[in-house]
Chain A
Amino acid sequence: MRYLLALPFIGLLWVPFYNHELPALFGFPFFYWYQFLWVPLTALIIWLVYRNDLKKGVE
């Protein structure tokens, strides 16, 4: 489960993947809305790991 925490690092540090203007969304170039998207995604991932930790009773 904890390995999920690596996903934001891959998604955000692999910059060539998102260094483009298209496709745009609501006027936002891809470069921007992609990075914004990782904010809720990261929160969700951390929450999933947190919930799993709770079940396993991690101190």
Chain B
Amino acid sequence: MDGQINWTALSVFVFFFALVTVMGFWASRWQSGKSNKGQHLDEWGLGGRNFGTWITWFLVGGDFYTAYTVIAVPALVYAVGAYGFFALPYTILVYPIVFVIMPKLWHAAHKAGHVTAADVVYGRYSSRKLEFAIALTGVFATMPYISLQLIGMEVVIKALGISGELPLLAAFVILALYTYSAGLRAPALIAFVKDLMIYIVVLVAVVLVPMKLGGYGVVFASASDAFAAKGGATGLTLKSAQILPFATLALGSAMAAFMYPHTLTGIFAAKSADTIRKNAVFLPAYTVLLGLIALLGFMAYAAHIKVENNNDVVPALFNALFPSWFSGFAFAAIAIGALVPAAVMSIGAANLFTRNFWKPYVNPEVTPAGEAKVAKIVSLAVKLGAVVFILFLPTKFALDLQLLGGVWILQTFPAVVFGLFFGWFGPNALLAGWAVGIAGGSWLAYADGIKPVHTLHFGGDSYTVYTGLLALLLNVAVAVVIQLLSGGRSKQQLSADAAS
């Protein structure tokens, strides 16, 4: 990255960016046939709840596998090797979880017209406090995530040779405007283009790059040599102390993944529970892609790429090995890959604000059309917040907050999921568990210097595990104890649940 503007790459980039912008504005009229409810939050915030298997596949895949994934997973693999691969088991294990839990959550939401996870929680437990806790966690966990999308975009814009924050700002103004006008339909439609482009880029890269470098054997061998020279906790396989953190990070992240407002928005927008089950079968196809993208981190060693910032490794690899027009195409794919999740995230956060803060506390009489209006404006504010955040605060801060966000969102798991399977827990026990989980998890992460794993000592042995999972254990334990102390839920409450 020598600061020279690469005009060929830039023109290709701008062409594709312009293409999706047009699509984004056109999207408001797409798929809005049969049951259009006009100015209703269901239309703007959930695309009319009418997305079939294919659209859901693209939408959920598009907002789950983000631009930041494409940049950060290879960066981590480049830096530490095998340990960075926890993303692969994580994104495999997420689908059995989706298959079992999400159709039930969809049913609960569909029956009562719920738009957010916090709606579902209020519907079941009738506790404004618990609803507030879940909604607040969702908003706080999503904001830094949007900022990370901006970082992904910043990295590729820099690789095109353009410095300064103006292009980033322009991209986000465009994003904000078409999300405002088209709602969830915009990212759903753009996800098609994004995925097609990313698939082309990755398939070309995983076939051509090893061919240029001498095959996968060479790729792994040169990475192995580089790690051996570097020493420390790096290598092609895990050090024994890394095994437990690897497994717990994979499991904890998989449990947290579909608690985020943006992934849930994709679930609630599905036409039927069957759509979601089918998607659990077909979504693992994306995981193959993720694993292949992760391998780009190893290819960088074979290609003798050296970067100061690990995040630059993928763009640097493309710039070094491909003609500029293809680099431009690849960078456009990554940048558009940031727009889809950023749009869905801002919609998810806006839905939460509207349904779980605005409606209960500001205007209980708000009409569905009024809700849509509030949500549209909030989605603008959320994106503005993310831009301000990234312009004025150091990148590391966004990364740290996102890490904490993962710990936080995992603490909503008991409140959102347990009630779908059994009715034993009451709202106060769940709320206490949530509070202890959030406080304990944040404190552990903070005390460890914002690291995702915490080391426990039992006698002479030490065990390092994912902090989020540790906090979740604490969370559930506290909920169980409080529930036992308060004597279980009365028959009356249970039958009230059944009736609602």
Report which A residues bind B (CB closer than 8 A).
2, 5, 8-9, 12-13, 15-16, 19-21, 24, 26-29, 31-32, 35-36, 38-40, 42-43, 45-47, 49-50, 53, 59
Measured CA separation A36–B89 after assembly (Å): 9
What is the chain A residue whose CB lies nearest that of B282? Answer: A43
What is the chain A residue whose CB lies nearest that of B295? Answer: A32
- Contact indicator B281/A50 (Cβ below 8 Å): yes
What is the chain A residue whose CB lies nearest that of B239? Answer: A19
Q: How far is the CB of B283 from chain A (nearest CB, A)?
A: 8
Q: How far is the CB of A44 from chain B (nearest CB, A)?
A: 9
Among B85, B107, B284, B295: residue with most chain A CB under 10 A: B284
Measured CA separation A15–B217 after assembly (Å): 23
- Contact indicator A43/B285 (Cβ below 8 Å): yes
- Contact indicator A43/B99 (Cβ below 8 Å): no
In the assembled complex, which residues on chain B have CB atoms less than 8 Å from the CB atom of A15?
Answer: 238, 243, 246-247
Contact of B237 among A31, A40, A42, A50 (CB under 8 A): A31
- Contact indicator B291/A35 (Cβ below 8 Å): yes
Q: How far is the CB of B104 from chain A (nearest CB, A)?
A: 9
- Chain B at the A interface: SS class: helix
Residue B251 interfacial (CB < 8 Å)? yes
In the assembled complex, which residues on chain B have CB atoms less than 8 Å from the CB atom of A42?
Answer: 92, 95-96, 284
Known: A12-B93, A35-B89, A36-B88. A43 touches B284 (CB 8 A): yes
- Contact indicator A31/B82 (Cβ below 8 Å): yes
- Contact indicator A28/B96 (Cβ below 8 Å): no
In the assembled complex, which residues on chain A have CB atoms less than 8 Å from the CB atom of B288?
Answer: 36, 39
In the assembled complex, which residues on chain B have CB atoms less than 8 Å from the CB atom of A28?
Answer: 216, 220
In the assembled complex, which residues on chain B have CB atoms less than 8 Å from the CB atom of A8?
Answer: 92-93, 96
What is the chain A residue whose CB lies nearest that of B284? Answer: A43
Known: A27-B219, A46-B280, A59-B273. A36 touches B96 (CB 8 A): no
- Contact indicator A39/B291 (Cβ below 8 Å): yes
Chain B 193-229 per-residue mask, 1 if CB under 8 angstroms from chain A, else 0: 0000000000000000000000111111000000000
The number of chain B residues with a CB under 8 A from chain A is 37
Measured CA separation A55–B19 after assembly (Å): 44
Q: How far is the CB of A52 from chain B (nearest CB, A)?
A: 11
Measured CA separation A29–B219 after assembly (Å): 11
What is the chain A residue whose CB lies nearest that of B215? Answer: A27
Chain B 76-112 per-residue mask, 1 if CB under 8 angstroms from chain A, else 0: 0000001001001100110110011000000100000
Chain B 232-247 per-residue mask, 1 if CB under 8 angstroms from chain A, else 0: 0000111000010011
Residue B6 interfacial (CB < 8 Å)? no
Known: A28-B216, A29-B220, A35-B291. A40 touches B284 (CB 8 A): yes
What is the chain B residue whose CB lies nearest that of A20? Answer: B237
Measured CA separation A26–B291 after assembly (Å): 16
Measured CA separation A8–B93 after assembly (Å): 7
Q: How far is the CB of A39 from chain B (nearest CB, A)?
A: 5
- Contact indicator B96/A26 (Cβ below 8 Å): no
Q: How far is the CB of B470 from chain A (nearest CB, A)?
A: 16
Q: How far is the CB of B252 from chain A (nearest CB, A)?
A: 11
- Contact indicator B236/A39 (Cβ below 8 Å): no
Residue B277 interfacial (CB < 8 Å)? yes
In the assembled complex, which residues on chain B have CB atoms less than 8 Å from the CB atom of A47?
Answer: 281
In the assembled complex, which residues on chain A have CB atoms less than 8 Å from the CB atom of B280?
Answer: 46, 50
